[in-house]
């Protein structure tokens, strides 16, 4: 049986990262501006907007790898690396303080979700 890459993976990886990471930032940050629930929702909203360019590159990479039926390990590694580089560049370009907290929090969640979420499912063999 072959593997079929699921289109749900990129969206679930992106959205779950945007939902979970602000809570991690809130827990580890010592800034009073980031330690409240209102800041979490603002981080989610701005994270959604700021991550769109990286997500577009991520989706393009996913489709290219899917088209050529690339090895699962290489696919996941490349997508996680794309998300990490995009996130680090975005945060370093936009923020002048607390960037280390954001980079570590988002980076940990990107890695954990990228490795844990299933990217493929077995193809069903249908007799014709």
Which pLDDT tens digits describe the chain residue by residue (128 residues)? Answer: 456 778 899 999 999 999 999 999 999 888 888 888 888 999 999 999 999 999 999 999 999 988 888 888 899 999 999 999 999 999 999 886 657 889 999 999 999 999 999 987 665 545 54
pTM of the prediction? 0.85
Q: What is the CA radius of gyration of the chain?
A: 16
At 100-125, the pLDDT tens digits run 889 999 999 999 999 999 987 665 54
Q: What percent of the chain has pLDDT over 70?
A: 89
């Amino acid at each position: 049986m072959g593997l079929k890459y699921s289109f749900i993976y990129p969206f679930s990886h992106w959205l779950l990262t945007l939902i979970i990471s602000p809570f991690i930032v809130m827990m580890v940050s010592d800034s009073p501006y980031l330690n409240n629930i209102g800041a979490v929702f603002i981080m989610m909203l701005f994270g959604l907007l700021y991550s769109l360019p990286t997500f577009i590159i991520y989706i393009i990479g996913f489709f290219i790898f899917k088209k050529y039926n690339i090895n699962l390990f290489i696919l996941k590694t490349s997508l996680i690396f794309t998300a990490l580089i995009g996130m680090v560049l975005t945060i370093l370009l936009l923020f002048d303080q607390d960037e280390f907290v954001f980079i570590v929090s988002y980076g940990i969640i990107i890695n954990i979700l990228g490795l844990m979420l299933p990217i493929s499912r077995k193809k069903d063999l249908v007799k014709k």
